[in-house]
Amino acid sequence: AAGGALAGRHVLITSGPTHEPIDPVRYIANRSSGKQGHAIAAAAAAAGARVTLVSGPVSLPDPAGVETVHVESAREMLAAVEAALPADLAIFAAAVADWRVADAAPEKMKKDGGALRPLSLVENPDILATVAQRTGGRPGFVVGFAAETQNVIDYARAKLARKGCDLIVANDVGGTGVMGGDANTVHLVTPDGVETWPTLPKEEVASRLVAHLARQIAGKAE
Ligand code: C5P
């Protein structure tokens, strides 16, 4: 798509869940399917961008025309993101696990005989905040997602400030089957205000978001 709205741009996108190992055969995960992030990657490629997609474990095919880097844990995702910089636009759509198991067992844990071993958790790095708060090499425009089940917009506003990103795509994942589903209702939250979109297929959210972000980037001084 030479001459597309994102021609000549490098767009970095995270998508999917992360898997945080408990032992070699068990992990902690979440219900993210990767559908929204992968659709954004495809839409950005269709708009002419060079796209790097850093994907957690999903059952989706790699989008055509996109360089896809496969990772499992949050720490691997951060390393892959940093290796993919610089970028003109970074979109953090992955549902990164907030915590990992502090001391993942090197061998499969056995229940026989032993006392139950409680899992102790430690916080994962915040990939979005780490990249958005870089002093050198920060992407020109940084977008986060906020999946919430209540107070969606208030939390998104707080998140925008705390993480240091330029825009938060807030969505309500309470009840309606957004996670794993094919439709999404999103609110675009920036320091200037909130723009609410109708419920749309995730592909349509993706193409509208890419068009919106291409305009934002074009409007910024180079
Ligand atoms: O704080 P919360 O997890 O709700 O923030 C969601 C946003 O932050 C998403 O854009 C997600 O991709 C990003 N995030 C991240 N690394 C984490 C946690 C969240 O990049 N460890």
* pLDDT value at 10 more than 50: yes
Give the pLDDT confidence of 150-161 residue by residue, as tens digits: 899 999 999 999
Q: Would you say 110 is a known binding-site residue?
A: no
Write down the pLDDT at residue 1: 46
The rounded Å distance from CA 60 to ligand 1 centre is 21
Give the pLDDT confidence of 80-120 residue by residue, as tens digits: 999 999 999 999 999 999 999 999 999 998 887 677 778 99
Q: Which protein residues touch ligand 1 with a CB less than 6 Å away?
A: 14, 74, 92, 94, 96, 124, 126-128, 144-146, 159
Residue 1: partners with Cβ closer than 8 Å, 6 or more residues away? 7, 45, 46, 47, 48
Give the pLDDT confidence of 30-72 residue by residue, as tens digits: 989 999 999 999 999 999 999 999 999 999 999 999 999 999 9
Q: Would you say 23 is a known binding-site residue?
A: no
In whole angstroms, give the CA distance from residue 124 to residue 78: 10
State both tokens at 92: 């953090």
Write down the pLDDT at residue 197: 95
Mean pLDDT of the chain: 93
In whole angstroms, give the CA distance from residue 8 to residue 150: 39
Active site residue 30: yes
**What global pTM score does this model have?**
0.94
ipTM: 0.97
